[in-house]
Structure 1
Amino acid sequence: MSKVFLSYCHKDEQHKEDLLKFLNPLINETHIEIWNDEQLDPGDDWHKEIQEKLKEYDKVVAIITPNFLASYYINEYEVGPAIENDTHRVIPLIVETCSWQRTRLKQYNALPKNGNAVQEWSNKNRAWTEIAESLADGLDSIEEKEKVLVKQAAQDGQEKKLELNEATKKWLEELDLPFNHPNATVLTLSDIFIPPHVRSITEDASDLNNIIEAFSEDLPKQKIIYGEEQSGKTTLAKKIFSEKLEKGRIPIYLNGTDIRNKNINTWLDKALQSEYYNSDYNVENMNDISIVIDDFGSCGLNRAALNAILSDLYHNFESVDLISSDRFRYVSLDLEASEFFKEYEILPLGKKKRQELVEAWISAGKKDEIIEEELYGRADQLMDRLDSIVLRNVVPPLPPYILTILSLASVNSGKEMELTAHGHCYQYLVYQALEKSNISPKELDKYMNLLTQMSGWIYGRNSLDSKGVKAFFDWYNQIYLPVEDQNPIQMLEQCLLLEEGQNGWQFKHPYVYYFFAARWIAENLYSTSFKEETISYLLENLHKQECANILIFVTHHSNSVEVLEDIEYTLMGQFEEEPVTWLERNEIDFIEEFIKEIPELVMEKREVKEGRRVKAEQEEKAENKAEELEEIVEELSPNDLLAQVTKFLKSMELVGQVVRGRAASLPRDRLFELIKESEFTGLRFLHYFLSISEIGKEEVLRSIEEVLSENPNLTNKEVEVEAKNSYLLLTYGVIFGIINKISSSVGCTEADVIYDDMENQFPRPAIQLIRFAMELQHKKRLDIERVKDLSKEFKDNIACFKILKELVVQHTYMFPVEYYKKQQIADALDIPLEYQYRSQLESGGR
């Protein structure tokens, strides 16, 4: 490709037009690209653009006239430097008679032939035809000679190699946002990058087979990947670039804003020069090039140009990755050429990906030093905190949010651990969003108050239409000091805190609304009638996501004792007709025979990393099902049974957040009562479940038998036995699940003394198992002596002994445990280790 810069004086505009009139038809048949300053866009810095084009284009065609020779700019900034520095091939076109042979131009072979000015030709068309043909042929000849020289250089072992320049290498490792990390002074992208999952949007979105990792070999080579704001689009583009480079390809990165016309070679050549050393390297096989375009939708070209670009990319390059915002998806529907590309969307980080990111974060700066026990223990602590914040998409599970929370939790530890409490994380996220938009520090508090009061107006309405916005600001500016920005709504939209929906303005993410609505409620709790009405409504509808989350934030914003008392009374009122189930032997002896028939547990030798991966995948599926169920629960009345069950679960989670956030400031007796009522509520629900399970046992068995009877390989007796076992397995599973749920919801590392008080006052099997599960879940500590004591305690309680065994064995699959400790556990719980079990089987077989 011959790239030609056309230099002329603006007084000679007509000569330029004459040249292009005769040259353009020939250009279409050759590999010539011509640029002149007429192609500048409105608003361009014309001097800067001209200088950049001179760097990009290595040949200069000069229209020589007296005006040209007299031009200060041309001599000082265009042709003059090109001649002086010998950086370009200069081709003079003599159009008007002048003294060009007395200038530095005399060293160049000029057109027309012999340098006879076009002005002197009797047939001007013949002169321009000769110039156009000679120029086209000459440029083609030059290009062929250059190819021969490159080929010869390769044969002689002197070929220049493309090498990524230092600026590009640095950019590939830079994070878009600075994150404080306790181990890594400079955190790089390679330290913490986790490949996201993407999902095909041209196939069935509900089909899990359409979800695939972003770097899978199964993905097509030509694709468009869409992503919402802050989903990691630019980061993905960088890593795609790096991956292509590692595979020996020549990746070229562009941003959509770099694309100003449909001529792809123009902007690809420019990108090649800016990203590599030796950018004059001749790429003989175009299939070696990989195109990566970030923010493709921002190029701002019309439909015809976009279609032309997509078509050219598809037909000329076998590897094309276009990354764009969700908004461009709707534009692409009108682009015929977009059908050439498979389309995908970046998914939020599910449980498995969040766990990978957390482990990468912890390992950053000490990958070769950190031991598994430290890695997984710390990872689970951070995951517990993270899940309580991003679960169910209250905070979008997107990389910037998760990394911000990890940064806050990792850097603020020890004495400042209270800063990582639930509410403080959200407050930090909001402040960060405001600061990113360059809102001055003195205006931050004004914006926080503005958002608080706006949430009060939106509370109960969900959004504000244009009239509502006007009414709000009329009211606000009378009561409070106005913010200095001319258009605060637009500023908050830029901060990604507000968005305009179909019904008006609303908070962009649920967490922002919950946080500020709770702050507004907390500010108005001085009004008794308001407090009673609002808190009662929130507690009555605790099964709804909005009410549960707002109430969590109310406990963060307010130190009101009355609110905690109301939460406690709500707990006491749930399943209040039911007694607490202590899991004494006489309460659950009906499943003893069944448990005896279950094959004994074996402590298998498993790879901890694989075990954690499998568990994360299972929990991710459970999260997805929970979100589906939550949509159903949202529509239920508070008296519906499913709503009551959800309410009890959220009540325990609420208390857990209060305990974790305010353990250091709440009186000990208040903490004890909150924890006691939470655990008792869970155990009352368990009694309720066991009661209705026993009452409806026959009906449940008949339902299971109907399903099993469809299997022709089972006899009637076998169907009956299988049905009974399925029923008992379900019952046992619920008991095990409730123990785990209570311990995970209410437990934390800050309130050991209270949990000890609970066990001392209520030394019953259920409380003992909950306490033991808390130790495993929140402290990742397996106390062998404690295991021995409980195994003696549950010697005659087969069901609780079985639960104890499962808790311990599951822990050994999730965390590395030394062999000698496993041997002690095996002896205490009568669980054979895997190799022992095989030996026993082999002995029996002989």
Structure 2
Amino acid sequence: MEYKQLSILHLSDIHMIDGENYIFNKKRALIDAIKNEISDKYLFIIITGDLANTGKFLEYDKLHNFLEDLEENILGYYKKIKIEYIFVPGNHDCDFSDEEYNDVRDLIISNVLSNKTIQKDTFVASCTKVQNNYFEFLNKYKSKNHIVEKISNKLFTKYSYEILNHKISFNCYNSAWMSKRKENQSEIIFPLLNINQEEILNDDSKLKISLLHHPLHWLEHNNLRDFKNFLNTSSTIIFSGHEHSSTGNINKNIYANSTVEFIEGGNLQNNSNENESIFNLVNFNLDTNEHDLLNFKWENTYYTKKEYIGLKIDNVPSNIFILNPSYKESIEKLYIKLNHPRKDNILLEDLFIFQDLELINLNKKNTKFSYKNISSNKLISDDKIGLNIIYGEDNCGKSSLINILQLKLSEKSKKIPIVIKCENISSNMYEKNRLEKMIQRSFEKQYVINQRILNLYQQQDKDKFVLILDDFHLIKANEEFRAKIIENLLKLNYENILIFANKNFRYEATSETEISMHLNEFNHFQIKELGHELREDLIIKWIKLGQEYEIKNDELRKLKREKADHVDHTIGFNIIPSYPLYIITLLQAMELNDNTLEKSSYGHYYNFLILQHITNNSNNGVSEQKDINTIFAFSSALAFDMFSNERREYSIEELNDFNGKYIKNKKLTLKFEPIEKVISTKLLIEIEENIFKFNHKYVYYYFVAYYFAQNIDNNDIVDIIKKMSKQLYKSEFGNILMFILHLSVKEHIIEMILDEASKRFNSTQEFRFDKEEIKKINSLVKNSTTKLFDRHIEESRKEELKSKEKELEIKKKNHLHQEEDYKFDDDEEGGKLTFFKELNHSFKLIEAMGEITKNYSGVLEGNTKYHLIKSCYSLGLKCIKEFILLFEEKHEQLIEQIQELIISRGLITNEKIGEATSKIVFSLASAIALDIVKKISKSVGTQDLKIIYKEILDSDIDNIAYQIINEAINLSFIGGLNKNKLIILHENFKNNGNNLTDLTLKKLVIDYFYKFDVSIDKKSSICSKLEIDIEKTRNKFLEK
């Protein structure tokens, strides 16, 4: 650098001892290394901790002598240079010689670790006593005259200078205030509330240099995030030490459009290795904001130099509008009660996922968003947020999104997000001046305030503000005044408005109403449930929490798949809302052991969900177990009453009437009315005026099933279950039966289900995958060819999740056009079902028998499990047989119809029509067979029942279908790939021309490769033997 106005000599980890110090022998070499590099005007010698080795006075005396000699030699070269010293203490600057006091100090530190925000001044004073010699040493240097006393204390010291008309500040953080002899990562707290954050952040210095001993990852997890954000906002460059390694990097804050440079110092002196010595020199041109970083390392007899020239970082834009620390802390919290196996005091951001928003099409020609679905993250990534209204159900994540938006937007120096609680707005507050006062009051509650800040607030352009209106539907005003509020906010020229409201308000806001006219310029969004990809993102956050640096990738992959499968199974389709709250509650339930033998694991999950819901929505009065029992008993009786009356909604009069009869029949004297408690805990919700229903399907299903399970020995109840078991093609009955099985399983229920399974497709034989059964289908192709796409296991997982997303969207679209059917079809109870009703019925029975077998594998007798699994095989294979018969018996008609379709659409040339038609029919038949095989294996597959699978296989050793199902089950689990067995089966199918069966086997193997890690050699070898083509990128695949 041609024009060096200022130099910083960065030393660290000197570990000076009261004895021989190797660094004295290197002093001459150090001076030679820097004498021609430093500025001749200003030199700051900074030491980022561990000045001494044990914090003793004599060690500091030695260091003082060393620095005096260093200064004297530098002045010999540059007579007019001004030298200043800036220090921060390290863990070695603590004198731990007083053992009795150390015990007291350790108790204080334990208290500090449990209260991670503000600390008592007495605690800080007690903990920093071990640094008394260090603080005494500071008094030897004239730099103490530059300390800004009003904001400095034992935790933080600020030095302020003016150099060549540029203000420069050094912010020194005492990260070693609670150091111990044996330090562990994540056990240091820096209490930001004990320092004057506002003054630090409002500093308008040209160069803001932060010093601390410990790199940030030594801080406790939650504290690290806050402290890092604070440093990034208040620093230009951050110097640290401690780890004896010299590194440097520049971090860019995308939101604040600024950069911060981190420089970590190596150890100047290693008392165990005299050949180790490292230090840094940074030269600044304050006019151009450029600097050079020089790193020096000892090599035998001199210091070698590495140069990093022409570095330039932006000045950190001072965000003068800072969230009030106590308010910030309140919105950072996770508002639900949560127990995590590895972490206490979980913050919102630990488990937050940006949900997708669905753009509601109001036939507006000009809309800001061109995609139907966007991530809510876009609301903070766009510079101009614009006008938006966002609708959502209760517990959908609105409050969490609002809090995250304010936290993230407040990090952007150009934006001032203000949350307005609409429940506090009344009809007399619609006028413009009153709205402005209300906005300012909200600002004053949420931000650090003084007269200067208020003056600046009032001078800001309106495009700097982001108004976040929470619970707009709760405004205490009619439609006319609500409309006036929107109208006047727009007249006040606010350009960035985010309105949050419940889903019922959507109809008012999008119909032909007065308020909809004023909302015409707004983008309307609905908060979506988490799809499979975002669910997995949340699951990954849960798993990694508290073990971010320890968990290995293969273990993470295994756990996330297991938990995702459990979550998907529990949620079902439209049974439990797939919002973050419900996913997190399920993840919590999975971590807890439930000792209730009569409930399955899924019964435990549903029970836990409901208990958590009651707890989260109870202000008081539901703390005792007997109260919980009363709520459960009452709710189950009410749900059964609705079921019996074929109703899903009751008026408040009907509910009160039921409540009175219930109390009278039970002869109860209660401290609360059951119906009031069920409504207050939101198990029942009001869907329109004085009309109530259970809040979610899973709650209704659970309580109906709970009633059945509690009265399972009652003959009338058994008759109803038997009636339901004959109509499982109705989703209502199928779901209730599954819930009954989750809560209890009795022998007569099992017999009932087995009997019903035997009646489905009772005239159809099981499909055996024999070539004689599928002659026409096998003749369509010469051999079974398929491909394995060359991709990483994570990419395969993403493809799998995307495929599930598409299936889910199709299901939802089809569901929109279906009416709920929860009435018994008496005419079909004993009659013949249509093909698709019988198929759906069969699939539900397979699922039910699988649930019983897997969830009660340790309880049921071996013979019972054998019959249940054998019935699953049998019924599934009968379903395949029905389809195969259609393909074989209607073969010619099917070929003809597909050919006509191809010709009518002009998809391919005439000479290729025959080949294409054959491939389509073959692919369709093989896809159906594969899908049902996987349905069987998924229903019954568990590693606990291998003995049963083998017994069934051995009972008919030549049954190819049993062999295929057995392989499908094996390939569902890691380690289930038996190379030799697969090769034998393939060779057999291939030699017999059994193409459909061979393709089914290959597809199962390919699915395994996509799910689990397999070595390159093994994968390539199996693909070669089974004649599975690796997509054209085979060479690339083999080279990985």
> Structure 1 length as normaliser, TM-score?
0.74
Change (3 A) 1:723 1:553: same
| CA distance in 1: counterparts of 2:529 and 2:745, whole angstroms | 34
Where do 5+ consecutive residues of structure 2 fail to align? 1-201, 209-317
Match of 1:80 in 2: none
Q: Is the 8 A contact 1:252 1:272 kept in 2?
A: yes
Which position in structure 2 is the counterpart of 1:311? 487
Label 1:521 to 1:806 Cα distance change in 2 as closer, same or farther (>3 A): same
> Contact (CA 8 Å) 1:203, 1:210: kept in 2 or not?
no
SS in 1 for 2:504: helix
Report 1:643-658 matches (<5 A). 643-658=837-852
**1:810 paired to 2:999:** no
**Alignment-derived partner of residue 91 in structure 1:** none
Counterpart of 2:693 (choices 506, 522, 538) is: 506
Q: 1:221 to 1:467 in 2, by over 3 A?
A: closer
- Which residue, out of 431, 450, 454, partners 2:634? 450
- Distance, in Å, in 1 between the alignment partners of 2:687 and 2:585 is 27
Please say which of residues 668-677 and 470-479 is displaced more in the overlay: 470-479
Question: Is 1:255 paired with 2:436?
Answer: no
1:268 aligns with 2:455: no
**RMSD over aligned Cα atoms:** 3.4
Letter in structure 1 aligned against 2:695: K
**CA distance in 1: counterparts of 2:665 and 2:896, whole angstroms:** 67
Task: For residues 679-725 of structure 1, give each alpha carbon's deviation from its aligned partner in whole angstroms, at most 9, with x where no partner exists.
Answer: 11000111111012212222222221221112346444433332232
> More strand by proportion, 1 or 2?
2
1:568 maps to what in 2?
754
Question: Could you say if the C-alpha distance between residues 738 and 209 of structure 1 is closer, same or farther in structure 2, counting changes exceeding 3 Å?
Answer: farther
Report what 1:240 is aligned to: 405
Structure 1 distance, partners of 2:846, 2:790, is: 35
* Alpha-carbon contact 2:636-2:706 (below 8 Å) kept: yes
Q: Match of 1:615?
A: 800
Mapping of 1:402-801 within 5 angstroms? 402-412=583-593, 421-436=601-616, 437=618, 438=620, 439-441=622-624, 442-461=626-645, 462=647, 463-466=649-652, 468-482=654-668, 484=670, 486-501=672-687, 504-528=691-715, 530-596=716-782, 599-601=785-787, 603-627=788-812, 629=814, 632=818, 639-712=833-906, 714-763=908-957, 764-778=959-973, 781-784=976-979, 787-788=982-983, 790-791=985-986, 794-796=989-991, 797-801=994-998
Kindly indicate whether the alpha-carbon contact (under 8 Å) linking 1:351 and 1:620 is maintained by their aligned counterparts in 2: yes
Are residue 213 (structure 1) and residue 213 (structure 2) matched? Answer: no
Alignment of 1:317-328 (within 5 A): 317-328=494-505
| Matched residue type, 1:275 | Q
Give the letter for the 2:675 counterpart: I
Contact 2:483 2:514 in 1 (8 A): no
Does structure 1 residue 166 correspond to structure 2 residue 325?
A: yes
Structure-2 change in CA distance of 1:175 and 1:420 (3 Å): farther
**Aligned partner letter, 2:1005:** V
Query: Are the aligned partners of 1:419 and 1:425 in contact in 2 as well (CA < 8 Å)?
Result: no
Shift of 1:547: 0.7
Q: What amino acid maps onto 1:325 in structure 2?
A: N
The amino acid across from 1:520 in the alignment is Y
TM-score by length of 2: 0.61
1:360 lines up with 2:541 in the alignment: yes
Contact 1:314–1:340 (8 Å) recurs in 2: no
Partners of 2:597 and 2:800 in 1: CA distance: 28
Equivalent-residue separation in structure 2 for 1:201 and 1:485 (angstroms): 46
SS at match of 1:161: coil
Partner of 2:520, secondary structure, is helix
CA distance 1:542–1:750, change in 2 (3 Å): same
Tell me the alpha carbon deviations over residues 219-262 of structure 1, each in whole angstroms, 9 at most, x when there is no partner. 96210101011110001112222332344322222322344533
In terms of mean alpha carbon deviation, does 589-598 or 765-774 score higher?
589-598
Partner of 2:395: 230
CA distance in 1, matches of 2:730, 2:630: 31
Q: Alpha carbons of 1:291 and 1:762: their partners in 2 closer, same or farther (altered >3 Å)?
A: farther
Deviation at 1:607, TM superposition (A): 3.3
| Distance in 1 of aligned mates of 2:795 and 2:703 | 41
Q: How does 1:331-410 map to 2 (within 5 A)?
A: 331-332=508-509, 333-335=513-515, 336-410=517-591
TM-fit CA distance, 1:563: 0.7
Contact 1:633 1:643 in 2 (8 A): no
For structure 1, which segment, 710-719 or 436-445, has the greater mean C-alpha deviation from structure 2 after superposition?
710-719
CA displacement at 1:633 relative to structure 2: 9.1
1:285 CA drift (Å): 3.5
Q: 2:729, 2:837 within 8 Å by CA — same for their partners in 1?
A: yes
1:182 matched to 2:359? The reply is no
Q: Which residue of 2 aligns with 1:293?
A: 469
Return the structure number with greater helix share: 1
* Residue 512 of structure 1: how far off its partner (Å): 1.5
> Is contact 2:778–2:995 with CA below 8 Å preserved after alignment?
yes
Alignment CA distance shift 1:772-1:157 (3 Å): closer
3-state DSSP class of the match of 2:905? coil
Give the 3-state SS of the residue equivalent to 1:705 in structure 2. Answer: helix
Query: In the superposition, relative to structure 1, how do residues 540 and 710 fare at CA in structure 2: closer, same or farther (>3 Å)?
Result: same
State the shift of 1:405 in Å.
Answer: 0.9
Match of 1:192 among 335, 351, 360: 351
Partner AA of 1:769 in structure 2? I
Counterpart of 2:792, as a letter, is: E
The change in CA–CA distance for 1:789 and 1:290 in structure 2 (over 3 A counts) is: farther
Aligned partners of 2:598 and 2:744 also within 8 Å: no
Equivalent AA in structure 1 for residue 754 of structure 2: E
- Counterparts of 1:201 and 1:391 in 2: how far apart (Å)? 26
CA distance change for structure 1 residues 840 and 494 in 2, over 3 Å: closer, same or farther?
A: closer
CA distance in 2, matches of 1:323, 1:418: 43
Partner Cα distance (2:1022, 2:499) in 1? 55
CA gap 1:786/1:169 in 2 versus in 1, 3 angstroms = farther
Question: 1:817/1:179 Cα in 2 relative to 1: closer, same or farther (>3 Å)?
Answer: farther
Contact 2:790 2:1033 in 1 (8 A): no
Distance 1:645 1:164 in 2: 59
| Relative contact order, higher structure (CA 8 A, sep 6+) | 1
Q: CA deviation at 1:154?
A: 6.9
Pair 1:666–1:553, CA change in 2 (3 A): same
